[in-house]
Amino acid sequence: MCGIVGYVGCKEAQPILVNCLKRLEYRGYDSCGLAFLGDGLQVYKDVVRIGELEKILPPNGGRVGIGHTRWATHGRPSKVNAHPHVDCRGEIAVVHNGIISNFLALRERLVSEGHHFFSETDTEVLPHLIEKYYRGNLEEAVRRALQDVEGSYAVAVIHRNSGELIAARHESPLLIGLGDGEKFLASDAPALVDYSDRVVYLEDGDLVVMHGEGLKISNQGREVVRKEHHLEWTAKNVGKAGYEHFMLKEIHEQPGVIEEMVGESVSTIEPSVNLEVFIDRTVDGILLLACGTSYYAAMVGQQVLEEIARLPVRVELASEFSYSRTVVGRTLAIAISQSGETADTNRALKKARDLGCRTMAITNVRDSTVTRIAEQSFYTKAGPEIGVAATKSFTAQLIAFYLIALSLAEVDAGTFRHMTQELRLLPSKVQRVLDSEKVIAGHGRRLSGYESVFYVGRGISYPMALEGALKIKEIAYIHAEGYAAGELKHGPFALLREKFPVVALTLRDDTYEAMLSNIKEIKARESPVLALAEEGDQEIAKYVDYVLPLPQTDRLFAPVVISVALQLLAYFAARSRGCPIDTPRNLAKSVTVE
């Protein structure tokens, strides 16, 4: 989940690398560092954010350099654990994203051979291995060192006696930006938007040599050519556009994202849905694999697919499926991942493929790792999402499930027409939620004064309760749990009291009366209740302390409207508590380690 950047060219590397790292800070921010080739090898690192490190960097004219912003896996955040790491002689510098699973054995062997270690990290074995094998050819030394390594990695390496940069990847993202007389390296595309729109995505096993004269990519010792792609993202759409935080900007972009996705697939002439992906209805069932927020989107997707497409659907946590689950019959496995680089999800999809499943990915990033595993991919087209907490990427995943289900619909013509109409109305309904931002902000400020909160729902609002709880805990640092409302009485009631609020997601569907009963039970324990309810619901106000009215929406499509309100609720709770909203502690955007 760390951010990696590199530069080789005719310009000063330092300002370029600093700017690139700022673009990648969502991938990790507990420490950072840079290394340059100029007057020897120069390394600067500390337990600070990029902007703070920039203030203390001396002028540096080096034209070759690497940089890193860290999300800790091995060793607490500290200056000595920050990247880059160097060898005993201070000649080789390495930055790394991933986990070297056999680092302890490698470290013990290297120590027995006379190498001295300073950090607690797994990464530090790499410069020592490269030093061990270096005989004047850096490319060959890196190749040989990586043969000893088990685990995942994206690495960038420089040597004081060489003007080249060596990079390699295995199960961790890395791409190259192409410029005029210069080359860029990054672990994610937003780092490059100020410098290049021509990129090459590296594949597992690729080893790259970047120097002033050009670029060479090899895999298993053979030189290969990777396709050049046009980078659609720009500096404009990875900026804040005047908003205080990326998260708030991305929340407000959701009507446009929904409108674009629906407009490209749903005909306005006659009710029909046409997608670039093809799903064979003769499969015995669908298996959805995801983690975190994407898992909650899959839980909604399960209900949508089963009700509209009449296909049996199973949802699995990708991190668990990899170790203990199997499949029966002819199954379509669909992996859901915003970045397409979620290590647990990619590993689970590989397992499903090896078990004989047909495979598909729902992702926001073209040419990401998951798209190379899957036979076909559905792109959500949410655009770059910089805030660590998923917002527009989550609603885009929900829209993907609606579109897939409607493309397979087993409903009558009138129902189908109603559903496509509801889908087209979603952008305006989401905008109405955004227009009530000041009201939601008041509720968010109220929640900010508590240390714990329950989110409850039934039916299709239950996964939204889980998502709402996740949002407020990850950005506002409020302990929150999501529950099926009927489950509170099976234990969680023990926690209810005057200072333990409950957010109740209440739809006017077949769960409504049961939800009212649950709310009465909660109020009998004196917990304050905030209900998210449909406009015009006069009954709910009799039983709760606060009501947040939402536009009336068909039950199946209500999660989209609910999600936007929950995002704003968490945002304003976090803002009131003074939390670093875009970069919450201990978290990173792309979970590229297991």
pLDDT band at 269 (very low <50, low <70, confident <90, very high): confident
Residue 490 · residue 534 · CB < 8 Å:
no
pLDDT value of residue 273:
87
The H or E element that residue 565 is part of is helix 558-577
Decide if 121 contacts 81 (C-beta within 8 A). yes
Q: So which residues are the catalytic ones?
A: 2, 589
Maximum C-alpha span of the chain: 79
| Ordered domains of the chain (ranges, CATH) | 3-237 (3.60.20.10), 240-433 (3.40.50.10490), 436-594 (3.40.50.10490)
pLDDT digits 0-9 by tens, 547-580: 999 999 999 999 999 999 999 999 999 999 999 9
Give the model confidence (pLDDT) of 439-462 as tens digits: 999 999 999 999 999 999 999 999
β-pairing, 40-46 vs 85-86, is: unpaired
Give tens-digit pLDDT for 179-188. 988 999 999 8
Sign of dihedral through CA atoms 298, 292, 501, 251?
negative
**What pairing do the DSSP bridges indicate for beta strands 198-201 and 151-159?**
unpaired
Dump the DSSP string for 285-341.
Answer: EEEEEE-HHHHHHHHHHHHHIIIII---EEEEEHHHHHHH----SSEEEEEEESSS-
Interatomic CA distance for residues 368 and 55, integer angstroms:
34
Contact present, 71 and 16 (Cβ < 8 Å): no
pLDDT at 103: 93
CB 70 within 8 A of CB 122: no
Count of helices and strands (H, E) across the chain: 17, 25
Nearest to 223 by CA among 146, 132, 138, 139: 139
pLDDT at 589: 67
**β pairing state of 358-363 and 331-337:** parallel
| 414 contacts: CB under 8 Å, gap ≥ 6 | none
**Interhelix angle for 125-133 vs 138-147, to 10°?**
120
Bigger pLDDT: 374 or 27? 374
For 478, the 3-state DSSP assignment is: coil
